[in-house]
Structure 1
Amino acid sequence: MLTPRHEALLATLLGMTVGVAAFGIYVGVRDEPLTGARPQIVATTPVQKPSPDPAAGALDGTALTFVSKTFGPGGQALVPSDWPQDERANDETRFEHPSSVWMIRFVNSPSRRDTDRQVSDRAKKVRNQTDLRIVSEDDTTLVYTYTRNAGKEPRMVLSRWIPAIDGEGTLAEITVAGRPEDAAGMAIVLAKATESYQPVNGSASGQPG
């Protein structure tokens, strides 16, 4: 924790940085013997430091701002406000962080298969993923990890199916993906989407699928 002294020093340094950036130049005075000559002024372009990578740390779900979005054929839910929306084919909508590290995907495709069947079918479908590990599997949600890009990039996926209102089949699939270290943050994103999900345009019951 910063002491008041350290906070004051940090504020001073920030003020100096802002001042330099506002002028666009750095003015330096060379040490010269006191001979009466004017000091020589040297103007240089300030070095631009790269912005920190927003995805360098684990996803902090508690720091996200959520907004309600309507998407695809028949869905509405809360999603992170700064994750752009991408409508895709096959009733799929993605909201992906600009870094491409995290995303939430909705597939609004009503089906007569119940949530239990959806989970077991997906577990079979991903069994050939590199370094696959099933983290958890229950009657609505499948969580697993794998690696992509020749085994160099660990990934974690949380997929949940929303049961139909009439109890027959499912309404939609909601999937959140990121890295294993993002597990807690992704769980918050998934919970927000699940709790707020609403069918729209009359999509209230499972259909053949």
Structure 2
Amino acid sequence: MLTPRHQALLMTLAGMTVGVAVFGAVLVINGGNPFTAHDTPSGIVNSHPPSGTPTRTDGLQADSLQYVVQNFGSSNDPVSAEVPTGWKSAQAGTRPKFLDPTGVWQIRFDTRGSKQTPDELVANRERSIDEHDLKVLSRDGGTLIYTYTDRTRGPRMGLSRWISLDGGKSSAVEITVGGRPQDEAGLRAILQHATDTIKLPVAPGDNRPN
């Protein structure tokens, strides 16, 4: 006959056996992981990329841009214009260039001016571009818009504008922006913003090249 003490011991062992069996069943159901999707253990973070992070297939959107003033030119002929925030200077002086951190987009200026008209410079630039699959989309208003295929970076788009301060008789500055065809909306916005914000010195003499 089992004593009360032996009976209590047998009941305890039976309970432990049932507990082990239930835990094993849970492991089988959950594929060997005792933690379900809703029971992540403390210290483990489910990491997901931010939903707003752009990919290389996204186009540059005008409403995503913010701008900051950049100064360039020379000490005798200082120039300033607003370019997208975060773009870094890759070249200074009278022909500065600013690149976004990824190197996909850029804007550059040529502040040396020219005695040629904007329309003449548009025609000259069109003839001088030596790129594969060149396609001119527009050449109106002193602005050349074109696409081509870069052998390294693939399809590209360029927008070059020449600004006149004397009614179109000559050109004071060139602004060019570059990116991909899907960036057209953003590139147009950058070009227009630079056009609207550029500040040029009033030179006493005319020392522009032909």
Offset at residue 200 of structure 1 (A):
3.3
Partners of 1:96 and 1:197 lie apart in 2 by 18
Map of 2:128 onto structure 1: 125
Partners of 1:204 and 1:188 lie apart in 2 by 33
Offset at residue 208 of structure 1 (A):
2.4
Does 1:86 pair with 2:90? yes
Partners of 1:57 and 1:200 lie apart in 2 by 38
* Pair 1:138–1:167, CA change in 2 (3 A): closer
Q: Deviations over 1:134-162 (max 9, x none)?
A: 01112410001000126x60000000001
Partners of 1:64 and 1:205 lie apart in 2 by 36
Q: Deviations over 1:41-64 (max 9, x none)?
A: x88876866674554410011121
Corresponding residue pairs, total: 172
TM-score (norm 2): 0.69
Offset at residue 72 of structure 1 (A):
2.7
Higher mean alpha-carbon deviation, 161-170 vs 173-182, is at 161-170
The 3-state SS of whatever aligns with 1:75 is strand
Offset at residue 87 of structure 1 (A):
2.2
Higher mean alpha-carbon deviation, 131-140 vs 66-75, is at 66-75
5+ unaligned residues in a row in structure 1: which ranges? 1-32
Instruction: Select the residue among 132, 138, 142 that pairs with 1:140.
Output: 142
The 3-state SS of whatever aligns with 1:100 is coil
Map of 2:108 onto structure 1: 105
Instruction: Select the residue among 116, 119, 133 that pairs with 1:116.
Output: 119
Offset at residue 195 of structure 1 (A):
1.2
Partners of 1:101 and 1:179 lie apart in 2 by 8
TM-score (norm 1): 0.70
* Pair 1:202–1:45, CA change in 2 (3 A): farther
* Pair 1:149–1:66, CA change in 2 (3 A): same
Equivalent pair of 1:164/1:204 in contact (CA under 8 Å): no
> Could you tell me which amino acid in structure 2 is paired with residue 34 of structure 1?
G
The alignment-based identity, stated in percent, is 32
* Pair 1:206–1:154, CA change in 2 (3 A): farther
Offset at residue 189 of structure 1 (A):
0.6
Higher mean alpha-carbon deviation, 152-161 vs 68-77, is at 68-77
